[in-house]
Amino acid sequence: MFMGTGSDVGKSLIVAGLCRALANRGVRVAPFKPQNMSNNAAVTADGGEIGRAQALQARAARREPLTAMNPVLLKPEAETGAQLVVRGKRVGSMPARDYWQMRRSLMPEIEFAFRQLKDPHLVSFSPMHHWTDHHIRVHVFTCVLALQIAHLMRRHAAQAGLPLSVRELLDQLAGIQETVLIYPSTGGRPKARRMLTETTGTQDQLVETFDLNRWTPRT
């Protein structure tokens, strides 16, 4: 961690220099700043935006800039308010008081971003409830296969005009649920009607993109 006693004291420039020095020595390094306040943003390789200082540090480290390098970006819009950008996407605008009250809710996103940066070339998974070599190999194969399928689905959705992350894609798909309505009958077995819960516009597009109507219940 590199810290300074105030703003505009040279922290970003020194970190950029350290990133380049370590990269020149063959060390794989990446900048990380959980929260930054700046009106100067840069576009990342994964389609979001981060502070320009972190983008510069990424270049110094010979890495593509990613939203994980600056998961929370505040872009001042007034003396007491700012635009909130989380993982490269605009969430909204709010006064400083409201942000102060909700800031702790952003910790999961920040921690997830940090885990992604630690080593993106290794697949991490948890929990691990297996002890024998055979079961561990099967578990790893299943995890890697699921990850590959998820990224193929993300790419397919992006080609259809839905630029979602894997997490966002899976969350949207998980929201498409089936409801079973049971109607009492005067004689014999009760009648059941299956139907989908109310869906959003994005979920409707996903249904069409992945041809999920083949599996929807018949009304």
pLDDT tens for 105-149 read 899 889 888 888 876 555 556 666 778 888 888 888 888 898 899
Please write the tens of the pLDDT for every residue from 36-84.
888 888 999 888 899 999 999 999 999 999 999 999 999 988 777 888 9
Per-residue pLDDT, 123: 55
Q: Whose CA is closest to 28, among 124, 125, 123, 118? A: 118
Q: CA separation (Å) from 110 to 22, 32, 68, 69, 104?
A: 24, 10, 8, 9, 10
Question: Cβ of 121: how many Cβ atoms within 10 Å?
Answer: 5
Name residue 70's amino acid: N
- What's this model's pTM, rounded to 2 decimal places? 0.57
Q: Encoding tokens for residue 90?
A: 């605009």
Judging by DSSP bridges, how do beta strands 35-37 and 72-78 pair with one another?
parallel
Per-residue pLDDT, 197: 84
User: 3-state SS of the chain: helix, strand, coil percent to 5?
Assistant: 45, 20, 35
- H or E stretch including 108? helix 107-118
